[in-house]
Amino acid sequence: MLTGDSYADRPRPRMTPLVMVVSCRPIRFLGSFLQQGTQQASKFQLHTGTPCAAKDYYEFLVLGGGSGGITMSSRIKKKVGAGKVAIVEPSEKHFYQPIWTLVGAGAKKLSSSSRSMEKVIPSGVEWIKSRVRELDPDKNRIRIDEGKEIAYKYLIIALGIKLEFEKIKGLPEGFRYPKIGSNYSLVTVEKTWKALQGFKEGNAIFTFPNTPIKCAGAPQKIMYLADAYLRKTGKRENANIIFNTSLGAIFGVKKYAEALEEIIKARNINVNYRQNLIEVLPEKHEAVFEDLDNPGKTNVISYEMLHVTPPMGPPDVVKDSPVADAAGWVDVNKETLQHQKYPNVFGIGDCTNLPTSKTAAAVAAQSGILDHTISLVMKNKKPVKKYNGYTSCPLVTNYNRVILAEFDYNAQPLETFPFDQSKERLSMYIMKADMMPILYWNAMLKGYWNGPARLRSLLHLGRL
Ligand code: FAD
Ligand code: UQ1
């Protein structure tokens, strides 16, 4: 499972006429779990909630069945009705990734993070159980596995972000050894908890890479939880907790950065800025960091536990296509989410170049905006609703405490609740650990959650 083996690299069978390979029963295929994080590559097949049918054209094609893809397919299906929307997604399971922080700390079970893809795809939306291979927006069509082409009137791209463990020397093979884990992948998240439980004495190292990542708070959330766990089990005195980050600050929003700095001081955590993990030597339990401010200088640190946040980048199929900007992300208007060049193409979530923190909370807010944008574009009108960059990061600082960071494009706090959210609170932990998953599965994925903007207005009425 940890070979980095990819379906893309395998010899392909000769192309078979589509009708010959249509099947309602999913064929399991163990592919590159680790590389893709949430993706399970599978043999090409078409799969729908109701009858299995293959079409060459859909009014709406949604690429990716993650947070953005499922949410948007629910919303679009309500607009245009059954049979007109299809999702292209290879994975048999849909994952609620935000709970992986708590899985890595032993506070939730991994099984609680997933549902079968079939169950989350709305009825009346067809599931094309395949991988997108090529985008051809000039011809309004895409290509999937086996070379099959599908045309569309409107395209929604929600392909997420690509994990790039292989950019660190010694990984992903190094995950075969103990003492190392990563909350960012389905196959390594439980290894974090194993490493934490097995901790005896030495350095516990937590890393942050030199690329954009999803949920930029997650690399430090697991560190605070590890600190709490080691205190609870009487091992904290034997532990030196180190946060080695490529960034130059602990968090991008001043208000929350100041609160986190206090916690770091109080808990005796060592933070080293501008340190980027470049190699893991798992047999020697050593991690090698480059000093980003002193080119050529490296620091080697031995570890008793290592939590890796991998480098990340845009999915290859986006990067190599005309919808990408110079950095490889889907190039969308930052207020309307409509593509900058192709007016019938839209982007949502981690695969876009929206200049905000990549989170499911941001996807929720974006989905409300994109819903409006698409309604107007379908009527040949100009989109008007404007996304303000809302995103949120519940910074878990203990097994019963969260600082709820919420902010906009200008890195200004945009808080929902009428109290100071930079304080660690039990109520915000309960919201993160127990209420958010309910909201996600039952409201957001069904197209009923635009983020907390309305709730914020309501709760702040008393302040006006
Ligand atoms: P995803 O949900 O990742 O979906 C992308 C989908 O595209 C996947 O299903 C994938 O299989 C599919 N796909 C990829 N390539 C192809 C292809 N070629 N063809 C077809 N399908 C493809 N967010 C929060 O709001 N709060 C949090 O507390 C939080 N914590 C997090 C903690 C961790 C450890 C992690 C990993 C993430 C966390 N997030 C959090 C981030 C959140 O999960 C993501 O931002 C969100 O899932 C993004 O949604 P998306 O639709 O853009 O991508
Ligand atoms: C949110 O809307 C959301 O999307 C469902 C999350 O993703 C899991 C979040 O973590 C948070 C915090 C929000 C924001 C919601 C409220 C009620 C503040």
163-191: pLDDT as tens digits: 999 999 999 999 999 999 999 999 999 99
Q: Looking at the CA of 133, name the nearest ligand.
A: 1
Over residues 67-77, the pLDDT tens digits come to 999 999 999 99
Residue 146 — pLDDT band, cuts 50, 70, 90?
confident
Residue 23 has pLDDT above 50, yes or no: no
Domain boundary among 274, 297, 313: 313
CB 216 near ligand 1, within 6 Å: no
Residue 180 lies in a domain: yes
Binding pocket residue ranges, ligand 2, CB within 6 Å: 98, 360-361, 364, 392, 394, 416, 436, 439-440, 444, 451-452
Q: State the Cα–Cα distance between residues 409 and 18, nearest whole angstrom.
A: 45
* Domain identity same for 202 and 288: yes
Nearest protein Cα to ligand 2, atom 17: 452
Domain boundary among 253, 285, 313: 313
pLDDT at 461: 80
Residue 27 has pLDDT above 70, yes or no: no
| Mean pLDDT along residues 326-353 | 98
Q: State the Cα–Cα distance between residues 183 and 170, nearest whole angstrom.
A: 18
| Of 23-37, 290-304, 374-388, 432-446, minimum mean pLDDT range | 23-37
Over residues 265-280, the pLDDT tens digits come to 999 999 999 999 999 9
pLDDT at 42: 37
Over residues 187-216, the pLDDT tens digits come to 999 999 999 999 999 999 999 999 999 999
Over residues 73-94, the pLDDT tens digits come to 999 999 999 999 999 999 999 9
Over residues 95-138, the pLDDT tens digits come to 999 999 999 999 999 999 999 999 999 999 999 999 999 999 99
* Domain identity same for 320 and 280: no
Whether residue 24 lies in the annotated active site: no
pLDDT at 143: 97
Mean of all residue pLDDT scores within the chain: 90
Neighbours of 102 (CB within 10 A): 25
Distance (angstroms) between ligand 1 centre and the Cα of 66 equals 6
CA 112, 115, 121: angle at the middle one, nearest 5?
150
Residue 206: CATH number of its domain:
3.50.50.60
Selecting among 24, 52, 215, 351, the annotated active-site residue is 215
* Domain identity same for 270 and 331: no
Q: State the Cα–Cα distance between residues 391 and 417, nearest whole angstrom.
A: 15
Whether residue 351 lies in the annotated active site: no
| Mean pLDDT along residues 369-392 | 97
Burial of 123 (0-12, 13-18, 19+ CB in 10 A): exposed
pLDDT at 110: 98
Helix (H, G, I), strand (E, B) or coil at 394: strand
Distance (angstroms) between ligand 1 centre and the Cα of 302 equals 32
Given a contact cutoff of 8 angstroms between Cβ atoms, the answer to whether 416 and 408 are in contact is no
Nearest protein Cα to ligand 2, atom 3: 361
Residues near 398 by beta carbon (within 8 Å), at least 6 away in sequence: 224, 225, 228, 424, 429
* Domain identity same for 350 and 264: no
CB 329 near ligand 1, within 6 Å: no
* Domain identity same for 242 and 335: no
Question: How many structural domains does the chain have?
Answer: 2
List phi, psi (to 5°) of 386: -115, 125
Residue 199 lies in a domain: yes
Share of the chain above pLDDT 70, in %: 88
Q: State the Cα–Cα distance between residues 206 and 308, nearest whole angstrom.
A: 6
Nearest residue to 394 via CA among 378, 410, 417: 417
Residue 438 lies in a domain: no
Domain boundary among 358, 391, 424: 391
Query: What angle in degrees, to the nearest 10, is found between the helix axes of 189-197 and 218-232?
Result: 30
* Domain identity same for 333 and 275: no
* Domain identity same for 153 and 98: yes
Residue 144 lies in a domain: yes
Residues near 94 by beta carbon (within 8 Å), at least 6 away in sequence: 65, 66, 70, 114, 115, 116, 117, 120, 445
What's the domain range around 91?
30-161+314-391
Residue 20 has pLDDT above 60, yes or no: no
